Structure 1
Amino acid sequence: MQSHARGHLVYAASGVLALHTERGTSIVPANRVAWTPAGFTHYHRAHGDTDMRIVFLAPSLARLLPDHPSVFLASDLAREVLLALTGPRNYDDAAPGYSRSARSRLLRVLVDELGEAHEQPLHLPEPRDDRLQAIARMLYETPADNATLAELGKTIGASSRTLSRLFRDELGMTFYEWRTQLRIYHALVLLADGHDVIRTAYACGWAGPSSFITAFTDIIGTTPGRYRTSRQTTARTSHPTVVRSSE
């Protein structure tokens, strides 16, 4: 766990990152940018061979971005700026060949691009209620579990009505929306590790590839097959500093 005095952007040029804060987990697949404001305690976890680039922002630029952890889709221009700003050691301070004024201009372009991008629905909020935490632990361990909320409630001594209310009030989403987000996170990890679409669908609890492809496309914006292809293409062309998964 760490915390920084400056807010920072983390870019997954390839692979999949998970950004954990006290508010939950942000899923950062390839060609997404995660924003963590100053002062948030956090840690990153890489899945697969991940090309991770980090750029810190001065307060004057940070205030133009959200005051909470968030994920953005990287435009082509934002991607090229991030790669230009990050040197061979993957941190912005190591980037060679740019004067201070040039770096300032590039950073402003980057923040402007992110300001035009929509936040991605890739944040999985962390439950605080003990009952929700118990359910979260079970589903993190077995994302393919298709038990209903009522069935899960019986194991922890809470009614489905109570649990439904807690999901809405505490996490701002239904149980089924939360579980879908969780499954997409696990699916991204499996795809990063080289699993095919069919195996990934069943491992994450979908009845078949078709329903998995629909859910994946709704959240990620492309099919899992196209995502795997684009991730592999990006990995071949990005001259990465690789962070190898600890798994």
Structure 2
Amino acid sequence: MSTTCQHREKPARVPLAHQERIDWHDHADHQLVSVGTGVLQVSTALGSWVVPPHRAVWLPARVAHAHQAYGPTELRALIFRRSVNPLRLDRPTVLAVTPLLREVIAALTDESEELRPGPQRNLERVARDQLRRVEALQVHLPALADPRLRDVARLLGDDPGDGRTLAGIGAAVGSSERTLSRLFREEAGMTFPQWRTQFRLHHALTLLAADTSVTGTAAACGYSGPSAFIHAFRSAFGTTPGEYRQPVSSSG
């Protein structure tokens, strides 16, 4: 994996088309990456995160990452000097974005209105204060190194609704249930059912971004019905799939 270093000195707003990709790169400073609309998949060597408008990803300085958009997506990024780390985090982390922080991000990244230094510094102070209050969320998909786990991921990538047990999936990829169960705990830090839930929810975000109905998304991701899907989605993302599919207003 080759990377390039991108130098970004001020907040940015980057429109991306559906499935547009920003290749592997890193930054000299910390970044807070969020979206105004659409869905952004953020990948690092540690794993991947799917970011809807109510979430953001903290990317420490020099952590190589790549982006993939699902649906018309508006990437918004705030920059923090290496000496400024309000979260005190040294690894990529998904965060719950408060309504106030969302508005501050929108104001700082609005290219249609040039902020004067005083108001900009005030908004940056509010952003730092809000970041000290936000909740870190464990909703990422860890990178899988073992080829047997990658075979499982590819199999379920072709059909996220595949409801076979781990034993059945193991038979399809030529590995035992016991071995796969151990590998998921060792490499992903979670059980296979926990990993599959994360996998399905991440896939659900990309389907919703492509304007798939809630009922259709629930079926495609293997849920017994819309109610079960809505419950799992709300638990993970703090909103319902229906609310998520509605356009979220943002400044700019």
Which bracket does the TM-score occupy, shorter chain normalised? Answer: 0.7 to 0.9
Paired letter, 2:125 = R
Q: 1:110 to 1:166 in 2, by over 3 A?
A: same
The correspondence for 2:50, drawn from 21, 27, 33, is: 27
Return structure 1 stretches of 4+ with deviation > 4 angstroms. Answer: none
Structure 2 gap segments, 5+ residues each: 1-23
**Does the 8 Å contact 1:28/1:122 carry over to 2?**
no
Q: Displacement of 1:138 after TM fit?
A: 1.4
Q: Does 1:98 align with 2:121?
A: no
Q: Does 1:17 align with 2:40?
A: yes
Q: Tell me the distance in 1 between the aligned counterparts of 2:220 and 2:90.
A: 35
The correspondence for 2:184, drawn from 135, 144, 167, is: 167
Find the counterpart in structure 1 of residue 6 from structure 2. none
Find the counterpart in structure 2 of residue 245 from structure 1. none
Q: Tell me the distance in 2 between the aligned counterparts of 1:64 and 1:106.
A: 17
Which has the larger helix fraction?
1
Q: Tell me the distance in 1 between the aligned counterparts of 2:28 and 2:198.
A: 30
**Does the 8 Å contact 1:14/1:31 carry over to 2?**
no
Q: Tell me the distance in 1 between the aligned counterparts of 2:51 and 2:89.
A: 17
Q: Tell me the distance in 2 between the aligned counterparts of 1:38 and 1:116.
A: 21
SS of alignment partner, residue 143 of structure 1: coil
RMSD of aligned alpha carbons: 1.7
**Does the 8 Å contact 1:9/1:36 carry over to 2?**
yes
Q: Tell me the distance in 1 between the aligned counterparts of 2:136 and 2:157.
A: 24
Q: Tell me the distance in 2 between the aligned counterparts of 1:153 and 1:79.
A: 43
**Larger RCO, structure (CA 8 Å, separation 6 or more):** 1
Q: Tell me the distance in 2 between the aligned counterparts of 1:182 and 1:36.
A: 21
Identity of aligned residues (%): 44
Q: Tell me the distance in 2 between the aligned counterparts of 1:202 and 1:64.
A: 38
**Does the 8 Å contact 2:103/2:250 carry over to 1?**
no
Q: Tell me the distance in 2 between the aligned counterparts of 1:227 and 1:151.
A: 34
Find the counterpart in structure 2 of residue 36 from structure 1. 59
Q: Tell me the distance in 2 between the aligned counterparts of 1:77 and 1:239.
A: 12
> 5 Å matches for 1:1-247?
1-62=24-85, 64-88=87-111, 96-99=114-117, 102-229=119-246, 232=247, 234=248, 237-240=249-252
Q: Displacement of 1:133 after TM fit?
A: 1.2
TM-score, normalising length from structure 1? 0.86
Q: Tell me the distance in 1 between the aligned counterparts of 2:97 and 2:86.
A: 19
Paired letter, 1:238 = S
Q: Tell me the distance in 1 between the aligned counterparts of 2:224 and 2:49.
A: 26
Q: Tell me the distance in 1 between the aligned counterparts of 2:86 and 2:123.
A: 17
User: Size of the alignment, in residue pairs?
Assistant: 229
Q: Tell me the distance in 2 between the aligned counterparts of 1:13 and 1:165.
A: 39
Q: Displacement of 1:66 after TM fit?
A: 1.4
Q: Displacement of 1:239 after TM fit?
A: 4.7
Find the counterpart in structure 2 of residue 244 from structure 1. none
SS of alignment partner, residue 84 of structure 1: helix
Structure 1 gap segments, 5+ residues each: 90-94, 241-247
